[in-house]
Amino acid sequence: MIDKKWETCVKCGLCRSVCPVFREEKKEQYVARGHITLVEEFLKGNIDFSSKKAKEYLGKCLLCTACVEACPNKAETDLAMIFARIKNTQEYGIPFYKRILSLVMKNRKTMDLSAKTVNLLHNILFVQHLETPRESISPRIGSKLIERKRLLLPVVGETFLERYPSHIEGKNGRIAVFPGCGVNYAYREIGDAFIRICKKLNIEVLIPKEQACCGGPLYFSGLIDTPVKLAKKNIDLFNALDVDFVVVIDPTCASTMKFEYERLFSYIEDGEYLEKAKRFSGLVISSEKYLHDHTPLKELLRKTEIKERTVTYHDPCHLGRAQKVKQEPRALLSAISGVKFVEMKDADTCCGNAGSFSVDFRETSLKIGLKKAESIMETDADTVATGCCGCIMQVAEALHIKGRDDIKVKHTLEIIDEALK
Ligand code: SF4
Ligand code: SF4
């Protein structure tokens, strides 16, 4: 059963002014008001989602929730879109590549195996670019899914979960860490930075090896069964630990586990796991908020110094808007001597990545990304900090296309780690 929390929409159209997709497409069907109309007509039985066009309307939303934040009537427009995608998937299935992804993401072993295979084939499959705003790879041969020259995340040989023991001693608090797949398999250096920061702060860290993918990418595509299995696994695993917090490095995973698990169990009417998901939600916290609110890191950073640099900050949607963590990364970065912090225009506007959106709607995704690059360039910053693997990949590519390989793209944790060294 779905609680239709989008029904408060009065079709005022205010959401059009904040929607990054509408700004590019200028078509009603690509904005929250249009999405809600689509769902209403579907529920009345006036349309089905079988046509190619309908599928495009359902896919062309970043789920950035800018419309939810802007809506004067608190319509949960993102829920309408997720509901429509679930219905569409139940009725007509999902694209082949998402089916494969779903199979791979079902358990840790298949994910590890796939990552290791890709890592082994790196030199055959990819060209390595080192002088881009971030170390990236690009495919040697283009395909319908991923064009040649597209900058992607490199895949590591040794994952974050393999690299560290399941228990690191410490005296100041006790946390469990959930890196997220982007950090575990690709930008592991961000996880390395987080562990070094925890060691410096003498925090006891648990790294449960059995943790599963959060299931977010599948759930946001409209799948239910696999995300439910993954959610149950994570909830049971982490709820059983005696920890202060489950600290999540990737904001999409944090937001999925903190908010979407409850929606998921409400939807399938599983009261037992809904209660468990609520308890789990209270434990989940982003790495930036944890370090800012629950450790003396800010004071420590005031005594540190790094080579002078100008830093601007891009808010990942799942960190800034979903978790309301906006001020914390800025405060931590600004505390470092040597960092001159400058705000960019529209810092909290989505970068246009949104996972499979950047594959399915490459052109629109890129246009949104290039606008973000322009906002960064206007600040004259030499470094852009952010908090999400998808944003890092997107922003790095957009800056590269603009010819600005000199502007480096870093995770907030990496800059903090550098200062503490
Ligand atoms: S979703 Fe909110 S902002 Fe958008 S048309 Fe409906 S009421 Fe207006
Ligand atoms: S979630 Fe973002 S992309 Fe989707 S309709 Fe709302 S503002 Fe537009």
Ligand 1 atom closest to the Cα of residue 11 is 5
Rounded to 10°, the helix 327-335/287-294 angle is 60
CA angle 60, 285, 384 (to 5 degrees): 60
Contacts 24+ apart (CB under 8 A), 292-299: 292/328, 292/329, 292/331, 292/332, 293/328, 294/173, 294/244, 294/245, 295/172, 295/173, 295/201, 295/203, 296/201, 297/197, 297/201, 297/332, 297/416, 298/331, 298/332, 298/335
Q: How far apart are CA 394 and CA 409, in angstroms?
A: 10
Instruction: Give the model's confidence band at 289: pLDDT under 50 very low, under 70 low, under 90 confident, else very high.
Output: very high
Q: In what order do the strands lie in the sheet with 174-178?
A: 167-168, 204-206, 174-178, 245-248, 284-286
Report the separation in Å between the CA atom of 71 and the middle of ligand 1, taken as the mean of its atom positions. 5
| Atom 2, ligand 1: residue with shortest CA distance | 71
Asked if residue 282 lies in contact with residue 315, where contact means CB atoms within 8 angstroms, the answer is: no
Q: Is 207 helix (H, G, I), strand (E, B) or coil?
A: coil
**Ligand number nearest to the C-alpha of 62:** 2
* pLDDT > 90? residue 101: no
% of the chain beyond a pLDDT of 90: 75
* pLDDT > 80? residue 130: no
* pLDDT > 90? residue 147: no
Give the type of residue at 289: K
Instruction: Give the model's confidence band at 373: pLDDT under 50 very low, under 70 low, under 90 confident, else very high.
Output: very high
Domain ranges of the chain: 14-92, 303-420
Q: Is 206 helix (H, G, I), strand (E, B) or coil?
A: strand
* pLDDT > 90? residue 2: no
| pLDDT for position 153 | 83
* pLDDT > 80? residue 172: yes
Half-sphere exposure of residue 328: CA atoms within 13 angstroms, side-chain side: 22
C-beta 67 within 6 A of ligand 2: yes
* pLDDT > 80? residue 145: no
C-beta 38 within 6 A of ligand 2: no
C-beta 71 within 6 A of ligand 1: yes
| pLDDT for position 174 | 98
Q: How far apart are CA 319 and CA 333, in angstroms?
A: 16
Instruction: Give the model's confidence band at 106: pLDDT under 50 very low, under 70 low, under 90 confident, else very high.
Output: confident
- The per-residue pLDDT of the chain, averaged, comes to 93
C-beta 99 within 6 A of ligand 1: no
Q: Which residue has the higher pLDDT, 29 or 386?
A: 386
Ligand 2 atom closest to the Cα of residue 30 is 5
Considering all CA atoms of the chain, what is the largest pairwise distance in Å, rounded to the nearest integer? Answer: 64
Report the separation in Å between the CA atom of 111 and the middle of ligand 2, taken as the mean of its atom positions. 30
Per-residue pLDDT averaged across 133-155, rounded? 82
Report the separation in Å between the CA atom of 80 and the middle of ligand 1, taken as the mean of its atom positions. 12
Report the separation in Å between the CA atom of 7 and the middle of ligand 1, taken as the mean of its atom positions. 10
Pocket test of ligand 2: the residue of 16, 56, 65, 371 to mutate, having most ligand atoms within 8 Å of its CB, is 65
Ligand 1 atom closest to the Cα of residue 77 is 1
Contacts of residue 20, defined as CB under 8 A and 6 or more positions apart, other chains included, come to: 62, 64, 66, 349, 350, 352, 368, 371
Structural tokens at position 279: 């308890």
Q: Is 374 left (phi over 0), alpha (psi -120 to 50) or beta?
A: alpha
**Ligand number nearest to the C-alpha of 36:** 1
Structural tokens at position 204: 């006891």
Q: How far apart are CA 18 and CA 58, in angstroms?
A: 18
Instruction: Give the model's confidence band at 374: pLDDT under 50 very low, under 70 low, under 90 confident, else very high.
Output: very high
Asked if residue 154 lies in contact with residue 224, where contact means CB atoms within 8 angstroms, the answer is: no
* pLDDT > 90? residue 292: yes
| pLDDT for position 138 | 84
- Burial of 363 (C-beta count, 10 Å sphere; 0-12/13-18/19+): exposed
| Atom 8, ligand 2: residue with shortest CA distance | 19
The CATH number given to 303-420 is 3.40.50.10700
Least confident stretch, 6-10, 95-99, 217-221: 95-99
| Residues in a beta bridge with 312 | 384
Per-residue pLDDT averaged across 132-148, rounded? 81
Q: What is the pTM of this model?
A: 0.94
Report the separation in Å between the CA atom of 31 and the middle of ligand 2, taken as the mean of its atom positions. 6
C-beta 113 within 6 A of ligand 1: no
Contacts of residue 240, defined as CB under 8 A and 6 or more positions apart, other chains included, come to: none
* pLDDT > 90? residue 149: no
% of the chain beyond a pLDDT of 70: 99
DSSP letters for 269-319? T-HHHHHHHHHHHHHEEEHHHHHHHHSSHHHHHHT-EEEEEEEEE---HHH
| Atom 4, ligand 2: residue with shortest CA distance | 61
Half-sphere exposure of residue 329: CA atoms within 13 angstroms, side-chain side: 32
| Atom 8, ligand 1: residue with shortest CA distance | 12
Rounded to 10°, the helix 52-59/32-43 angle is 130
* pLDDT > 80? residue 416: yes
Structural tokens at position 135: 């170390």
Handedness of CA 366, 368, 370, 376 (dihedral sign): negative
C-beta 69 within 6 A of ligand 1: no
**Ligand number nearest to the C-alpha of 11:** 1
Say if strands 126-129 and 337-341 run parallel, antiparallel, or are unpaired.
Answer: unpaired
Q: How far is CA 353 from the centre of its chain?
A: 9
Per-residue pLDDT averaged across 202-225, rounded? 95
Report the separation in Å between the CA atom of 122 and the middle of ligand 2, taken as the mean of its atom positions. 35
Note the pLDDT tens digit of each residue in 229-283.
999 999 999 999 999 999 999 999 999 999 999 999 999 999 999 999 999 999 9
C-beta 419 within 6 A of ligand 2: no
| Atom 6, ligand 1: residue with shortest CA distance | 9
Per-residue pLDDT averaged across 57-68, rounded? 93
| Atom 6, ligand 2: residue with shortest CA distance | 67
Pocket test of ligand 2: the residue of 11, 17, 23, 61 to mutate, having most ligand atoms within 8 Å of its CB, is 61
Report the separation in Å between the CA atom of 277 and the middle of ligand 1, taken as the mean of its atom positions. 29
Structural tokens at position 192: 């390395």
C-beta 75 within 6 A of ligand 1: yes
Q: Is 257 helix (H, G, I), strand (E, B) or coil?
A: helix
Least confident stretch, 145-154, 327-336, 367-376: 145-154
| Atom 4, ligand 1: residue with shortest CA distance | 15
C-beta 10 within 6 A of ligand 1: yes
| pLDDT for position 126 | 84
Asked if residue 389 lies in contact with residue 182, where contact means CB atoms within 8 angstroms, the answer is: yes
Per-residue pLDDT averaged across 278-296, rounded? 98
